[in-house]
Amino acid sequence: MVTESQVWDALAEIPDPEIPVVSLVDLGVVRDVAVEDGTVRIDFTPTFLGCPALEVMRDVMAERVRALGAEPDVRVVLDDSWSTDKITPGGREKLRTSGFAPPAPRSAGTTTSLVQLNSSAFRCPYCGSTDTKLENLFGPTPCRSVRYCNACRQPFEQFKTI
């Protein structure tokens, strides 16, 4: 009989398709795991509704459950949106060490404005300097922007606070 702990451990080994330095669990897209009568139900919420990797994530999670000897029931939960607050502390550190600036925590009931994104309060993941500037609001995905560090002269991606 497979346990919830075994399922969580297996899911923690699945890299995010777009940012493989973090797992699906690190990213916070896996919302719940339940084991009952040989079936494992996994609820997950993609980072955004139009995520092109949704099917890939669902299929890989189902494969991992089958490898554990259980029947998967992987459900996409759309009634509550994902936010960057769901990224685990370990996931934030993995992002930082691989050259991504993790998102700032959200303040309750507020949204991030363009003025905040333009500020130099964002720390460079390479040298730690806050002498950074917004190069491009639109990065390779909707949740990231491109910044530049004036201190070490490295470009880096900044996760937007969503």
- What is the pLDDT confidence band of residue 75, given thresholds at 50, 70 and 90? very high
Interval 17-69: pLDDT, tens: 988 999 999 999 999 999 999 999 999 999 887 788 899 999 999 999 999 99
* DSSP H or E stretch at residue 41: strand 39-44
- Is the pLDDT reported for residue 119 higher than 60? no
- pLDDT of residue 5 exceeding 90: yes
pLDDT tens for 89-116 read 999 999 999 999 888 776 555 554 444 4
Here the tokens at position 81 are 């949106």
What is the pLDDT at residue 114?
Answer: 46
pLDDT recorded at residue 49: 77
Q: What's the rounded mean pLDDT across residues 136-153?
A: 88
Percent of the chain with pLDDT over 90: 62
At the topology level, CATH places domain 4-76 in GMP Synthetase; Chain A, domain 3 (3.30.300)
Q: Where in the chain is the domain with CATH 3.30.300.130?
A: 4-76
Instruction: Look up residue 62 and give its two tokens.
Output: 């189902």
Q: Which of 11, 91, 17 is nearest to 54 (CA)?
A: 17
Helix (H, G, I), strand (E, B) or coil at 119: coil
Predicted local distance difference test score (pLDDT) of residue 93? 93
CB 73 within 8 A of CB 61: no
- Is it the case that residue 84 has pLDDT exceeding 80? yes
3-state secondary structure of 121: coil
Please give the residue that has the higher pLDDT: either 158 or 66.
Answer: 66
pLDDT reported for residue 52: 84
